[in-house]
Amino acid sequence: MMSENRPNEKQYWFDQPKNVKLILRGLYVTCAGLFLADFFYHRHVDEPMEKIFGFYGIYGFVSCVILVLAAKEMRKLLIRKDDYYDSAEDGMPGGNAGGNPGGSKSGGDAP
Amino acid sequence: MRHHSILRAVTKFFLPYILLFGLYTQFHGDYGPGGGFQAGVIFAAAIVLYGLIFTPRIARKVIPYRAVYIFMSLGILLYAGVGVATLFMGGNYLDYNALNHHHPVHGQHLGILLVELGVGITVAAVVICIYYAFADRLES
Amino acid sequence: MSNLHPALVFFAGALLVAMLRGRAQALVALLVPIVSAWSAFQLTAGTEITLSIFDYELMPFRVDRLSLLFNYLFHIAAFLALLFAWEAGDRLQRVSGLLYAGSALLAVFAGDLITLFVAWELLAVTSVFLIWARGTERANRSGMRYLIVQILSGVILLAGAILHLRETGSLAFNEIGIATLGGKLILLALGIKAAFPFLHSWLVDAYPEATPVGTVFLSSFTTKVAVYALARGFAGEPILVIVGGAMAAFPIFFAVIENDLRRVLGYSMINQIGFMVVGVGIGTDLALNGAVAHAFNDVLFKGVLMMSMGAVLYRVGHVNGSDLGGLYKSMPFTTVFCCVGAASISAFPLFSGFVSKSMVVAAVLHEHHIVVWMILLFASAGVFHHAGIKIPFFAFFSHDSGLRVKEAPKSMLFAMGIGAVLCIGIGCFPQFLYARLPWPVDYVPYTGTHVLTQMQILFFSALAFTWLKLTHLYPPELRAVHLDIDWLYRRALPATARGVAMVAERVRLFGAGLALSFVSGLQQAGRHHLGPDGIFGRTWATGSIAVWVAILLVIYLIFEYGA
Amino acid sequence: MIAEHPVIQILIPLLGAPLCVLTGRGVLAYWLALACSLASLFVATRLLATVMATGPIVYELGGWAAPWGIEYRIGPLNSFVLLLVALLGAMVMLAAKKSVESEIPGDRRHFFYAAMLLCQTGLLGITITGDAFNVFVFLEIAALSSYVLIAMGHQRRALYASYQYLIMGTIGSTFILISIGLLYQMTGTLNMADLAARLPAVGDTRTVLVSFAFFMVGVSLKMALFPLHMWLPNAYTYAPSIVSAFLASTATKVAVYVMIRFLFSIYGPAFAFDRIGVSQILGSLALVGIVIMSAAAIFQNNVKRLLAYSSVAQIGYIVLGISFASENGLTGGIVHLFNHGLMKGALFLVVAAVVYRVGSSDLNAFRGLGRAMPVTMFLFVLGGLGMIGVPLTVGFISKWYLILAAIETGHWLAVALVLLSSLLAVIYVWRVVEFAYFQPRDRDSDPVGEAPLSMLVPTAILVLATIVFGINTEWTVGVARAAAVFLLGGHA
């Protein structure tokens, strides 16, 4: 996170790796604290599932990891080049007949 | 046609009779067969014949375009004007009876005569005009 | 006490603004919501104006607590958007923005379905110019697609309204329900505007293509009007719980991999609407209050986020996550406001999202919809992930992209600042919002359990993000397009048509007889047969017209003798 | 004096036409034609007011009572159509001067105005008369003068378009004449009311059935009902712009009026709809026409042509309304007949203004006009919104009633197709808007200015009317409903 190519420029707070580390440490400590808070604080629960120790923390962590990994897999399937639609629309020989939603494009096509 | 002397002579001879017959058909129309439409065509036929034999250019000297247009319009105006006159004289449109309040039958006579005359003039002018239009195309 | 319809003030204001130029234009545009608010905030529930037209009793103006809440909201949103537009706006955007806000007000005060339909179509027609104002070819096309979808929603609403009239004999816009066909159609029309799954693609297609100002306007009105209409017409429909759950969950996957940060916000908007739709679907007082309160807050924090991204777009020229980073150095205030918006949308305690989203979640828990509850928890974690962390992180922090731009113009900072203050204000003093909710409120957001569990979820999500980032498991931002449901009509349909045409051409080459005539029939239906050289477009030989005359005569004769 | 108004209505343009010829070259012919059109509009307004206040007016020509003489019989329906023709005649004439000066050579202008007035005479005559044969006579007056008008277009293709229109128009008129002749053979009368009274007795004969078939085909040709519309796009495209504006907004509408009149007041709904079931043919032709012609309009590269195809589609709407034969359907059809006249007149006048300034009605000629001719293009957009059927314009009102009628009678397909065609209309209107607002003008083309005021004002009046009648429907829908009730109740 250093901007080596700009030696003269003012150093910002996040440019210092130690500051970033500080932030990360803060995060770890807070997480640990919140996780352990379940020991001391008796949560009011509606569902049996909620009684599990550290349920919310675990759920938040696991679901996010699953989310990102699933999205990553999904991307392999869905990714296309930046100009995918642009090239597609120009490549169409004169668009298609109106009547379907794609017909909207014939409005944009210059004949 | 300049060399067809016989046709030229015969045409010159016939023309007055054709015109006269046209007028007869026109003014006899309210008593016997005839009327403005037929009379107009017969009258125009005389001019067309003249044009065919003596070239359209000469025919146009007899009846120039301008005259054709004026007669065309005047005919309609005469026809419609009679109707307007009946309106002003208190009748319905083209109610000839209104033309002569004392003798409605005379009114009928007058009305039909004028209306047919209007029709005749317009028809003659239009037929001549159509002939001119075609003839011009041939010439140019 | 006042009976002036605020929409009229907006329409008149738009007319006035259209005639002015320069600073005067921007100033008058800014004054319009203030002037309107002066009378609109005096409106009291119960005011009704009826009108007889088409042999039907219409009620173009009906004030109750539900419409009043949205009335306040739209005035604030319009003011913020116009303040944001002080520097970046132009005549077209100000005028269409005012008309658009006026149409939204027309919609929330509509007491009958016809007025609602009129407002519905006006919303579409006025807002599309905010997209076209961008002036790029992509924006033009995207705007056209947007317009088609919105108009389609309108005609479906009209068809539904007419059916509803036939089935119930009433045009009044109250509880509608999906028992009847008319109700189903109306729900479909609302669903399009509310961006239900599979009907949502217009939103993520069009919003990122609009101007910086345009997106701020767009994100404030259309979908919120739809939420309002759902709350009024379809409260307690169980199907909405399922639809809302799906809405809350699926967009976050797209949001994680999407590069255009305004499109990320578009997905997160669908996700937030999902919460509201669930609330409407539950239908209890608590849930409905939660839904509309969340709509209220969503406009504010989404507005702040959209404004911050708009400011970046305005200064940098794009908002691609892959090419941004380190902007906190040059746009510190924008960074702070963006973080406030991000905290609010993530529902951090003391921020506005916390006090409204939790109402919906609590209502779901009360009704014991366990699966939906888990989905909403997942969505809460996810929204923090993609909107709370991803947006500020990739835009303002992350690796330094080397971009050095000016801080956003003052007017934009003011607009963002006011929005941010409101977010924090509502988060800290929710009673001001609760007092204006349409149904009785008996809810305390700040309990120990609630604060603790929410903090646990959020911080562990952040922990997950950090871990994934440090282990490089996190997918990098890529300059790319990701397919969504609009692929169906942008690529699949044309491609199918092309494929059909190509196959038809092959068959035509090989086949004869029946195949030939069938194919030529297909081709006739094709596009170029309607053009100037096509069968219906070209000049016909006189004889062939005469043949048609004969054919028609024969048809008539046969028909008559058959009768 | 009101008693004489029916005939004065016809006389004004009829007398004006020859006078125009007599005035010769020069601008006098224009002012005369304008005066006649305005006077005609005044008379039409008074007629409508009187009819709505006191009921139908009957006028006997020549003092001969019907069924022997010809009578003019004016009810709510035809006074409404009279007003449309006279209004469009006047507005088009107001805008005509500059456009005609740029498109028609000087030695023909007085003939042009005479032909315009004659065309107006014919259209007004068709509408006003209560005599079936008289309808044919006026039909021919209107048709012949419109052939002349179209042939005056400055492109050579105008001649071919006019020729084709002449052939088709003549076939149409002849079919109608055959039909009237067969009716006369069976009943011995030509008066419409008398025909209606006598027809039921002979309704089952082949002669009447054949006459009905001939009439329907003939009138379908005249009003350019799909698929007999093929003469129309060329005729409207190559005619002088002013003529396109006038004919597109009135000629086909009057033909539709003739169909309504014959179907409901001569053959009678019982015969036409219950016995023969003409709804099925009319309705299906209308629906197919609406969709295909709207789609065809999208792919045109000439704005006049685009509008012409949209006209054919819009005729489909009117006919669809009629085919329901219900009060709402007929109201929708009649009100759309009027509304579409207003909208199409306005749109074609805009095109006339563009042709006057840019010299072409090609889509490419519209590039950048949003900046160069802002008012003109704004009027086009407003008119276009009407074509789409956006609320607060007249187009919405018509479609509302059509959809209502379709739902009442359970024609769901019709509902869907009418809604679909609204989308198609969005696209074809958008194409023009796109060229005008989103495409830059060619750099090397001459700069153009705003259209002259004389063309803007009448266009703006028409556009304003489409919005006023779109908001306040009391008057138009009131008259149309009165007409519908009269038609359905009078002879049911």
Tell whether the model's pLDDT for residue A2 goes beyond 60: no
Tell whether the model's pLDDT for residue C332 goes beyond 60: yes
Touch criterion met for D and B (3+ Cβ pairs within 8 Å)? yes
Q: What is the mean pLDDT of chain C?
A: 85
C315 and C469 in contact (C-beta within 8 Å)? Answer: no
Tell whether the model's pLDDT for residue D22 goes beyond 80: yes
Delimit the domains of chain B by residue range: 5-139
Which chains sit next to D, with 3 or more Cβ pairs under 8 A? A, B, C
Residue D411: φ, ψ to 5°:
-90, 80
Q: Flag if C141 and A105 touch (Cβ within 8 Å).
A: yes
Which of B67-71, C81-85, C547-551 is predicted with the least confidence, judged by mean pLDDT?
C547-551
B134: burial class by Cβ within 10 Å (0-12, 13-18, 19+)? Answer: exposed
Cα-based distances in Å from C533 to A109, C528, D3, D301, D360: 18, 7, 53, 11, 20
Taking the Cβ of residue B134 and every Cβ of chain D, the question of whether any pair is shorter than 8 Å is answered with no
Q: Flag if C459 and A34 touch (Cβ within 8 Å).
A: yes
Contact map slice: C 368-387 vs A, CB within 8 A: 368, 370, 373, 377-378, 381-382, 385
Touch criterion met for B and C (3+ Cβ pairs within 8 Å)? no
Q: Calculate mean pLDDT across residues B65-84.
A: 90
What is the model's pLDDT at position A3?
Answer: 42
The total number of structural domains in chain D stands at 1
Nearest CA distance, C9 vs chain A (angstrom): 34
Name the closest residue on chain D to residue C540, using Cα atoms. D230
CA angle D241, D244, D249 (to 5 degrees): 135
Cα-based distances in Å from C354 to A44, C346, C446, C524: 18, 8, 9, 59
From A99, A107, A111, residue closest to D295, measured CB to CB: A99
Helices C370-383, C261-282: inter-axial angle, 10-degree rounding: 160
Name the closest residue on chain A to residue C531, using Cα atoms. A97
Taking the Cβ of residue D420 and every Cβ of chain A, the question of whether any pair is shorter than 8 Å is answered with yes
From D14, D15, D21, residue closest to B69, measured CB to CB: D21
What is the number of other CB atoms lying within 10 angstroms of the CB of residue A28? 12
What is the model's pLDDT at position C518?
Answer: 45
Q: Flag if C540 and D230 touch (Cβ within 8 Å).
A: yes
Tell me which chain D residues have a C-beta less than 8 angstroms from the C-beta of C140.
434, 438
**Residue from C186, C206, C60, C71 nearest C127 by CA:** C206
pLDDT in tens, A29-73: 888 888 888 877 777 777 777 777 888 888 888 888 888 888 888
Q: Which residue has the higher pLDDT, C498 or C184?
A: C184
Residue C231 CA to residue B6 CA, distance in Å, equals 102
Tell whether the model's pLDDT for residue C523 goes beyond 50: no
D346 and D459 in contact (C-beta within 8 Å)? Answer: yes
Taking the Cβ of residue B96 and every Cβ of chain D, the question of whether any pair is shorter than 8 Å is answered with yes
Q: What would the DSSP string read from start to end of C459-512? A: HHHHHHHHHHHHTT-SPPP-S-EE--TTHIIIIIHHHHHHHHHHHHHHHHHH--
Give A13's pLDDT tier (boundaries 50, 70, 90). confident
Tell me which chain A residues have a C-beta less than 8 angstroms from the C-beta of C530.
97
What is the model's pLDDT at position D427?
Answer: 85
What is the model's pLDDT at position B2?
Answer: 61
Tell whether the model's pLDDT for residue A4 goes beyond 70: no
Q: Is the residue at D112 inside a domain? A: no
What is the model's pLDDT at position C525?
Answer: 53
A77, A104, A106: best to mutate for the C interface, most C CBs within 10 A: A104
The ipTM assigned to this model is 0.73
Residue A102: φ, ψ to 5°:
-65, -20
Which chains sit next to B, with 3 or more Cβ pairs under 8 A? D
CA angle C195, C287, C278 (to 5 degrees): 30
Tell whether the model's pLDDT for residue D21 goes beyond 80: yes
Q: Calculate mean pLDDT across residues B99-123.
A: 87
Taking the Cβ of residue B74 and every Cβ of chain D, the question of whether any pair is shorter than 8 Å is answered with yes
What is the model's pLDDT at position A23?
Answer: 86
Tell whether the model's pLDDT for residue C253 goes beyond 50: yes
pLDDT in tens, D238-273: 999 999 999 999 999 999 999 999 998 888 888 888
Tell me which chain A residues have a C-beta less than 8 angstroms from the C-beta of D434.
107-108
pLDDT in tens, C111-124: 999 889 989 989 99
Q: Calculate mean pLDDT across residues C331-352.
A: 92
Distance of CA D218 to the CA centre of its chain: 16
* Domain that includes residue D340, residue range: 277-492
Tell whether the model's pLDDT for residue C492 goes beyond 80: no
Q: Calculate mean pLDDT across residues C339-353.
A: 92
Q: Calculate mean pLDDT across residues C335-356.
A: 92
The residue type at B10: V
Q: Flag if D424 and A108 touch (Cβ within 8 Å).
A: no
What is the model's pLDDT at position D270?
Answer: 84
Give C532's pLDDT tier (boundaries 50, 70, 90). low
What is the number of other CB atoms lying within 10 angstroms of the CB of residue D303? 27
Q: Is the residue at D4 inside a domain? A: no
Tell whether the model's pLDDT for residue C55 goes beyond 70: no
Q: Flag if B94 and D61 touch (Cβ within 8 Å).
A: yes
Q: Calculate mean pLDDT across residues A87-111.
A: 38
Touch criterion met for A and B (3+ Cβ pairs within 8 Å)? no
Q: Flag if C527 and D293 touch (Cβ within 8 Å).
A: no
Q: Flag if C159 and D280 touch (Cβ within 8 Å).
A: no
Taking the Cβ of residue D295 and every Cβ of chain A, the question of whether any pair is shorter than 8 Å is answered with yes
Nearest CA distance, D439 vs chain A (angstrom): 9
Tell whether the model's pLDDT for residue B16 goes beyond 90: yes
Residue C14 CA to residue C6 CA, distance in Å, equals 12
Nearest CA distance, C523 vs chain D (angstrom): 14
pLDDT in tens, C159-188: 899 888 888 888 889 888 888 888 999 999
What is the model's pLDDT at position C505?
Answer: 61
Give A10's pLDDT tier (boundaries 50, 70, 90). low
What is the model's pLDDT at position A109?
Answer: 37
Q: Calculate mean pLDDT across residues D416-420.
A: 87
Element (H or E) spanning C50, and its range? strand C48-53
Name the closest residue on chain C to residue D312, using Cα atoms. C536
What is the model's pLDDT at position A110?
Answer: 37
Name the closest residue on chain D to residue B112, using Cα atoms. D62
Q: Flag if D60 and B83 touch (Cβ within 8 Å).
A: no
The dihedral through the CA atoms of C527, C533, C539, C543 has a sign that is negative
Nearest CA distance, C553 vs chain D (angstrom): 6
The dihedral through the CA atoms of D156, D161, D167, D173 has a sign that is negative
Provide the 8-state DSSP code for D86.
H
Tell me which chain D residues have a C-beta less than 8 angstroms from the C-beta of A104.
427
Nearest CA distance, A98 vs chain D (angstrom): 6
Give C77's pLDDT tier (boundaries 50, 70, 90). very high
Q: Calculate mean pLDDT across residues D459-480.
A: 88
What is the number of other CB atoms lying within 10 angstroms of the CB of residue D390? 25
Taking the Cβ of residue D21 and every Cβ of chain B, the question of whether any pair is shorter than 8 Å is answered with yes
User: Which residues sit opposite A98 in a β-bridge?
Assistant: A100
Helix (H, G, I), strand (E, B) or coil at D265: helix
D485 and D77 in contact (C-beta within 8 Å)? Answer: no
Name the closest residue on chain C to residue A71, using Cα atoms. C253
What is the model's pLDDT at position B101?
Answer: 81
Q: Calculate mean pLDDT across residues D438-459.
A: 83
The dihedral through the CA atoms of C539, C540, C541, C543 has a sign that is negative
Taking the Cβ of residue C527 and every Cβ of chain A, the question of whether any pair is shorter than 8 Å is answered with yes
Taking the Cβ of residue B77 and every Cβ of chain D, the question of whether any pair is shorter than 8 Å is answered with yes
Give C526's pLDDT tier (boundaries 50, 70, 90). very low
Helix (H, G, I), strand (E, B) or coil at D59: strand
Tell whether the model's pLDDT for residue C272 goes beyond 90: yes
Six-digit token pair at D434? Answer: 């796109």
Provide the 8-state DSSP code for A110.
-
Q: Flag if A98 and D363 touch (Cβ within 8 Å).
A: no
D419, D439, D471: best to mutate for the C interface, most C CBs within 10 A: D419
Percent of chain D with pLDDT over 90: 43
Percent of chain D with pLDDT over 70: 99
Q: Calculate mean pLDDT across residues C374-382.
A: 89
User: Which residues sit opposite C320 in a β-bridge?
Assistant: C260
Tell me which chain B residues have a C-beta less than 8 angstroms from the C-beta of D17.
76
